[in-house]
Amino acid sequence: MRDPDGLAGAFERLRPYLVSVGYSMLGSVSDAEDAVQESWLRLRRSSTSEIGDLRAWLTTVVGRICLDMLKARRARREDQADMWLPEPLIAEPAADGPEDQAVIAESIGLALLIVLESLTPTERLAFVLHDVFAVPFDNIGQIMGRTPEAARQLASRARRRVQAAPQPDPDLPAQHRAVDAFLAAARHGDFAGLLELLAPDVVLRFEPEPGTIAPFEITGADAVARHILRTAPRFLPHAVPATVNGSPGALYGTWDQPLCILGCTVTHGKIAEIHLIANRAKLRHLRLTFTPGPTQPSQ
């Protein structure tokens, strides 16, 4: 651990895991990478001879950094009514190899990220670290400065909120069939077909490029189907299939220059949620998704 090169190598091996923790906490690739980079700087300033478990130590540090970032973000957005959508993770289905599939399978879905955004920062921390990454409540309590039992209660409250939200079908091929049929119905202007595929209380959320139109949300199968039929002729002819946060979706534009990402949540064979993200600030990281290379921590 005292060897700088050895420490950097150990950190690099943990980087994908740490970015995953940060992304699950923050819903932002860029913010997650900032949190992980800050954890490296803190590691460099620490007495590494006293660190017994580097993974646990770094998980704690990243958790604390993310908690502070969530609190700051919540304070900035207190007076804002704008809808929030996360930065999506995408991959090209035809190019998925075993390694790609493993990474995608571990990614956290858009629907869950949206639910997590409604939690308090401490609820989110407790749920993500315990339920997603199996961090003990003793460690989580230390991060928050609370008892393990208090951390357990926070995670329990968060879990109830998460379980009340639409849950993606576990059968991925069934998800693909539903989304493919949905896209086909939209392309052909099949209103009745869309109504058959949409859940009665389906929600469509759209986050556009800032300065164009305001973000909006549409609820109900009839209203969503009518909106899709109005906009599909401009969007779908140029859309290609994509895996979005581990679930089927579509990309508008090109892989090098994505303009909009469509993600879906399929529940009981029906489209329960549609997420459209056209905010370029939330898509600029995507061109790096397919060719990640080793990154040496900044000195």
Confidence band, pLDDT 50/70/90 cuts, at residue 137: very high
Numbered ranges of CATH 1.20.140.160 in the chain: 4-88+111-165
* Coil, helix or strand at residue 249: strand
Rounded to an integer, what distance in angstroms lies between the CA atom of residue 91 and that of residue 250?
10
Confidence band, pLDDT 50/70/90 cuts, at residue 67: very high
Quickly count: other Cβ atoms within 10 Å of residue 262's Cβ: 26
**Cα 47 vs. chain centroid, distance in angstroms?**
33
Rounded to an integer, what distance in angstroms lies between the CA atom of residue 127 and that of residue 129?
6
CATH class in words for 172-286 = alpha beta
Numbered ranges of CATH 3.10.450.50 in the chain: 172-286
Confidence band, pLDDT 50/70/90 cuts, at residue 101: very low
Question: What torsion do the CA atoms of 77, 83, 86, 88 make, to the nearest 10 degrees?
Answer: -150
Q: How many CA atoms lie within 13 A of 35 on its CB side?
A: 30
pLDDT tens digit sequence for 15-53: 999 999 999 999 999 999 999 999 999 998 888 777 889
Q: Which of 243, 231, 228, 278 shows the shortest CA–CA distance to 258?
A: 278
Site of tokens 């077909």: 193
End-to-end CA distance of the chain: 16
CATH class in words for 4-88+111-165 = mainly alpha
Rounded to an integer, what distance in angstroms lies between the CA atom of residue 28 and that of residue 85?
10
Q: What is the pTM for the complete model shown? A: 0.85
Q: Which of 158, 78, 175 shows the shortest CA–CA distance to 120?
A: 158
Mean pLDDT of the region 202-229: 94
